[in-house]
Structure 1
Amino acid sequence: MSTLELPCEGSCRCGQVRLKIDAKPLLTMACHCTGCQRMTAGPYSLSAAIPSEGFEVTEGEPVIGGLHGDAIHHYFCPHCMSWLFTKLEGVDWFVNVRATMLNDVGWFTPFMETWTSEKLPWVTTPAKHSYAALPAMDEYEGLIGEYMAGN
């Protein structure tokens, strides 16, 4: 396992959209919801919550995909359709970056997993915290503190 070296760059599969992070994650997650399963064609999505000021699209113009019209905006490459990151409407202090889009992902381990009520029965992760849906809003401050203290 390696350590996250900042800045860290990444891209979509075809390379037309490039991004850079230069802040440590607030949390790392595996989401088991059926929406993530369908968008990744896998058992879960992996993301790192990056402080907004530490995230930048350096090349290309991502487009919103996934569900339209809700408060969750999933951004994709318009050419290869790789899912790059997610922003929550009205929550501008972090961006959920798909960890596997970064050039170096060896540092990544999910700290928490969400929507385990929808996970495939054979899936396991090394996450320290598991939630049937999402943590209560008042739990995030403690989770972020715990994650950042250990990373």
Structure 2
Amino acid sequence: MTDWNLPRDGGCLCGKVRFRITAPPLLTMVCHCKGCQRLTASGFSLSAVVPSDGFAVTQGEPAIGGLHGVNKHYFCSYCMSWLFTRPDGMDWIVNFRSTLLDDTGGFSTPFIETFTAEKLPWAATPAVHSFEGFPVLDDYGPLIEKFAHEPAPR
């Protein structure tokens, strides 16, 4: 897909924190890990990965929440919406919750799913690629290349 209708804006439930996406996603994904299940109070988290320079908080001050560990999970300090994650050691990307976009078209269909080993039995997705954990680092380049030419089904 070449037309992502950028920029796109999004924000938390209460509207105190807003962000803008100015770069196409590198990947869209679902994570089925227990941590994401607990952070979302659902079966998985749904997100899109964009280059760091294609993501900006335009209003408000997000706060770090979750486990405060390796990955920095950012939330609205008022409504507690989980906004985005900055993975440790990967400063070049931001993993944001794609359902928080004002217009989710194209950004919310997962291309990959991770941590299927912890997947709830009823949680089915249309993801094209599945991994029992996270893909190994060497797999991300080819996945990003495939996504660029064969985005997730809509």
Same fold (TM over 0.5): yes
Q: Aligned partners of 1:45 and 1:89: how far apart in 2?
A: 18
Q: Aligned partners of 1:64 and 1:35: how far apart in 2?
A: 15
The percent identity for this pair of structures is: 57
**Which has the larger strand fraction?**
1
TM-score by length of structure 2 reads 0.93
Q: Aligned partners of 2:17 and 2:123: how far apart in 1?
A: 31
Match of 1:146, as an amino acid? Answer: K
Which structure 1 segments of 5+ residues have no match? none
* Cα-to-partner distance string for 1:71-127 (whole Å, 9 max, x where unaligned): 100000000000000001221111001001111113221000000000101111000
Deviating 4+ runs (over 3 angstroms): none
Match of 2:71, as an amino acid? Answer: I
Alignment of 1:19-38 (within 5 A): 19-38=19-38
TM-score by length of structure 1 reads 0.95
Match of 1:85, as an amino acid? Answer: F
Q: Aligned partners of 1:12 and 1:123: how far apart in 2?
A: 24
2:89 paired residue number: 90
Q: 3-state SS of the aligned residue for 2:110? A: coil
Q: Aligned partners of 1:63 and 1:5: how far apart in 2?
A: 28
Structure 1 residue 65 displacement after superposition: 0.2
Alignment of 1:16-95 (within 5 A): 16-68=16-68, 70-95=69-94
Q: 3-state SS of the aligned residue for 1:14? A: coil
* Cα-to-partner distance string for 1:2-41 (whole Å, 9 max, x where unaligned): x631000000000000000010000000000011001111
Q: Aligned partners of 2:116 and 2:26: how far apart in 1?
A: 21
Which structure 2 segments of 5+ residues have no match? none
